[in-house]
Amino acid sequence: MFLRLFALVAALLATPLATAAEIEGVRLEAATRLGDTSLQLNGAGVRSRFIIKAYVIGLYLGAPADTLDGAMAAPGPKRIEIVPLMGFSAEQFTEPLVKGMKKNLPPAEFEAMQPRIRAFVDDLTAVKEVRKGSRIALEWLPGRGSRATMDGQEISRIVEGEDFYRALLAIWVGGKPTQDDLKLQLLAGKAAR
């Protein structure tokens, strides 16, 4: 009896309990669903540059992760959720994505990925503008590929290849992230307050 109780307590302590995050007035739920899979908020924070706070971002995974490799190895789908704190043109939103991918990929790999990057960016720029408070999700769907949604509506075609989603995720949690402290927050297994 004591051993079962001990094992239960140890399991509960070893499993971090995801909590919802409220950052800059934006609420990110502790858990979300993608298809039939429940994902947990691994971490969240604010992308800022100088004094400008651009967006709140959360990383949802099927299991806690503290590295890019761990995030990619987490079972099932994955979601990066972005909530702009100001309005952007579609180009202002996509340009940093491409730069972040380029920064984190070897040149030959980035060059080989160009047709997929261009197709993805073309789909996103067709949206014209990204409104303050809209919810943009960059999702990995196993067996299918990557896609973008805005407020629950698909805004991109499926882009094949797990390497493409890894390149997207690397923008924030790769070897050369867009913001060092944000990388730590997204990979902390808990949201910044």
Radius of gyration, CA atoms only, the chain: 17
Give the domain CATH number at 103. Answer: 3.50.70.10
- Write down the H helix ranges in 26-178: 68-73, 90-104, 107-112, 114-125, 162-173
Tell me how far apart the alpha carbons of residues 55 and 82 are, in angstroms, rounded to a whole number. 6
| pLDDT tens profile 70-118 | 999 999 999 999 999 999 899 999 999 999 999 999 999 999 999 999 9
* Residue 50, domain member (yes or no): yes
Give the pTM. 0.86
How many structural domains are present in the chain?
A: 1
* Residue 43, domain member (yes or no): yes
Q: Does the pLDDT of residue 12 top 50, yes or no?
A: no
Query: How many separate helices (H) and strands (E) can be counted in the chain?
Result: 7, 11
* Residue 1, domain member (yes or no): no
* Residue 10, domain member (yes or no): no
The pLDDT of residue 141: 95
Contact yes or no for 66/173 (Cβ under 8 A): no
* Residue 13, domain member (yes or no): no
Q: Which residue has the higher pLDDT, 44 or 7?
A: 44
Range of the domain at 98: 20-186
